[in-house]
Structure 1
Amino acid sequence: MAVDGAPEFRGRIYDSVLDTIGATPLVRLARLGRAHDCGAEILGKLEFFNPLASVKDRIGLAMVEAAEREGRIKPGTVIVEPTSGNTGIALAFVCAAKGYRLILTMPDSMSVERRKMLILLGAELELTPAAEGMRGAIQRAEALLRTLPDAIMLQQFQNPANPAIHRRTTAEEIWRDTSGKLDAIVSGVGTGGTLTGVAEVLKPRHPGLRMIAVEPEDSPVLSGGKPGPHKIQGIGAGFVPDILRRELIDEVIRIANETAFATARKAAKLEGLPVGISAGAALAAAIEVAQRRDMAGKRIVCIVPSFAERYLSTPLFDEA
């Protein structure tokens, strides 16, 4: 609602839930910053305001509609996709709204809440061993693709529609809401689509803008380490995605599992924002940057990709 208490109406009736994706709010995280003696201002781009509560809603719709335009999807087509969870949920609600059959492959380490939501939305689910990471889920999806007639894989890790939707929407929203006054953007890297798309638009407009990538300490492939199992669901696929433009990254910050959990809990208690695990990792990195002396008085935008309720069965809620 508006500051004076009068409600702000949307002024329209939507034809579909799909029309409500995007235009997520940018919110000052002042209490979180003060609690960590941050000299820089941290703004959270709250992507869980999307209808299915994650940043992946944007790419779910974008990839399906791109395939429709290209003639790759028609009545009877089966969509197969490997996913760590939130992309699957995004695709599931898009496919439900459009009437497409969807089969998803994902590591069995992903939360029970995600699995149940996928089934509720009508998706078919195939689980792969956690130790194989996203690579195992991708291999299983590729095997299904070879056996199913009239099936396609949208390939979120390679699909140009992924960074494209962030160029058209996320980047423009950040630029508009900050009036171009920002100094750094912090984003976890799963597919790399958010960071790449946003950077492709905003770096040319603001050459001094720093793009900071966040990855799990236990699977630090972006910073030259080896892949490994970790507990920060949604980032750290264990390989460098094809669509990630590494030359646009100014810095990579590694975040430990427990740091991600602890920071997500702090966001809930200090800001009233129940965020997901990867959001905790991104916020931890944003705090680290905001504490630096050379960042005093500057502004950091942190992409907050997901909502806490999707992780009820994980260690995020161990202290609840």
Structure 2
Amino acid sequence: MPKILNRLTEWIGNTPLVRLQETAQQYGAIAEVLLKLEYLNPLGSVKDRTALSLIQSARSQGLITAGTTLIEPTTGNTGIGLAFAAAAEQLRLILVMPDRVSAERIRLAKLLGAKVVLTPAAEAMLGCIAKAQALQQQIPDSVILQQFQNPANPSIHQATTGPEIWRDTDGEVDIVVAGVGTGGTLMGISRYLKPLRPRLQSIAVQPARSPVLSGGAAGSHQLTGMGPNFVSPLVDRSLIDEILSAYEEDAIAVIRTCAAREGIPLGVSSGAIVWAALQVAKRPENAGKRIVAVCPSGSERYLSSTLLADISLESDDVSDWVAIPQGQA
């Protein structure tokens, strides 16, 4: 990596693998659990990779000119990544988001120069997609990058994320756990790793309250970034060995433990993914194996969400920590 960058987009990728310590012990893990901390990408999520890949692919196909308006339906992190990459290349961008996304995401997208159009949360991603398609019909020289069906999405993970995991584990990885929204992350990683490690298990994580991936009914949930109310065309079921379902309560418990005991501030979907990895790490048949959990985002974009609303903004009482002067005990 060069010491001086021409653009911040050059810093995307090569995120660290960090071994869980006390959290793994608390949950009774008998396998090693490594976290691939994708929130350490420049704009804070795995979607920085996806966004740059989508724009580069569209440009290589001649779909982007100086006057092109990019449009994308998103729950937030792809939008932030696109706003970041679009700003670097001076491109116009409209993001269509459900109105339930956190204030941090909307404000950051606008700060980066994007226009944000909100749709009713009840319509979920299908509502965002429909609105994006309507806008494309109304705006000349506009293009929808289509993260849910664009092969540039999984391709970037096959080209970068998968090889990074292989390199940093010296090829010693037994199980990969990732959330599925578009499916790009798990599909791309699996396509790279499975030919090299045929016994590798790829485990998909979905919201328990919207288990669409396993054939259940779509429902409202707060695990932003995973579990749209449909199965993405990018999902290749032949690459998935198991599907696990996580509740928001599972995710929050892991988030609090990882933050307080490891100093690792996970986002909501990351909490769900790590919870799933810890369940897998407790199975007797996985003793001594190495599990990689791909953590797409960190805590900062969720601090205003209802899931973390009980974190007090008041001054804390530290009287119990104050040393008592000698002779006054």
Report the TM-score range of the alignment, normalised by the length of the smaller protein. Answer: over 0.9
In structure 2, the CA distance between the partners of 1:151 and 1:11, relative to structure 1 (3 Å rule), is closer
Amino acid at match of 2:216: G
Residue 222 (structure 1) shift: 0.8
Does residue 228 of the first structure (1) align with residue 206 of the second (2)? no
- In the alignment, the residues of structure 2 paired with residue 140 and residue 263 of structure 1 have an alpha-carbon distance, to the nearest angstrom, of 35
Identify which of 73, 79, 84 aligns with 1:82.
Answer: 73
1:202-213 superposed matches below 5 A:
202-213=193-204
Looking at CA atoms only, which structure, 1 or 2, has the larger radius of gyration? 2
Residue 239 (structure 1) shift: 0.7
What residue in structure 2 maps to residue 4 of structure 1? none
Does residue 39 of the first structure (1) align with residue 42 of the second (2)? no
Does residue 73 of the first structure (1) align with residue 67 of the second (2)? no
| Unpaired segments ≥5 residues, structure 2 | 312-329
Amino acid at match of 1:246: R
- In the alignment, the residues of structure 2 paired with residue 23 and residue 259 of structure 1 have an alpha-carbon distance, to the nearest angstrom, of 28
Show CA shifts across 1:129-176 (max 9, x none). Answer: 111111100000000011110000000000111001001100000000
Does residue 155 of the first structure (1) align with residue 122 of the second (2)? no
Residue 269 (structure 1) shift: 1.1
Identify which of 120, 124, 127 aligns with 1:136.
Answer: 127
Amino acid at match of 1:143: A
Residue aligned with 1:234, SS: coil
Residue 106 (structure 1) shift: 0.8
What residue in structure 2 maps to residue 92 of structure 1? 83
What residue in structure 2 maps to residue 173 of structure 1? 164
What residue in structure 2 maps to residue 248 of structure 1? 239
Identity fraction in percent? 51
What residue in structure 2 maps to residue 3 of structure 1? none
Residue aligned with 1:118, SS: helix
In structure 2, the CA distance between the partners of 1:123 and 1:11, relative to structure 1 (3 Å rule), is closer
- Between the two proteins, the alignment pairs up a number of residues equal to 311
Show CA shifts across 1:27-81 (max 9, x none). Answer: 1012111111110000000001100010000010011011111110010000000
1:19-30 superposed matches below 5 A:
19-30=10-21
Residue 319 (structure 1) shift: 3.7
Residue aligned with 1:158, SS: coil
Residue 11 (structure 1) shift: 4.8
On the 8 A contact 1:277/1:308 being kept in 2, the answer is yes
RMSD: 0.9
What residue in structure 2 maps to residue 101 of structure 1? 92
Does residue 201 of the first structure (1) align with residue 184 of the second (2)? no
- In the alignment, the residues of structure 1 paired with residue 309 and residue 62 of structure 2 have an alpha-carbon distance, to the nearest angstrom, of 47
What residue in structure 2 maps to residue 307 of structure 1? 298
- In the alignment, the residues of structure 1 paired with residue 133 and residue 309 of structure 2 have an alpha-carbon distance, to the nearest angstrom, of 36
- In the alignment, the residues of structure 2 paired with residue 229 and residue 111 of structure 1 have an alpha-carbon distance, to the nearest angstrom, of 16
| Unpaired segments ≥5 residues, structure 1 | 1-9
Identify which of 232, 243, 249 aligns with 1:258.
Answer: 249
Residue 94 (structure 1) shift: 0.4
Residue 187 (structure 1) shift: 0.1
Residue 89 (structure 1) shift: 0.2
Residue 318 (structure 1) shift: 2.9
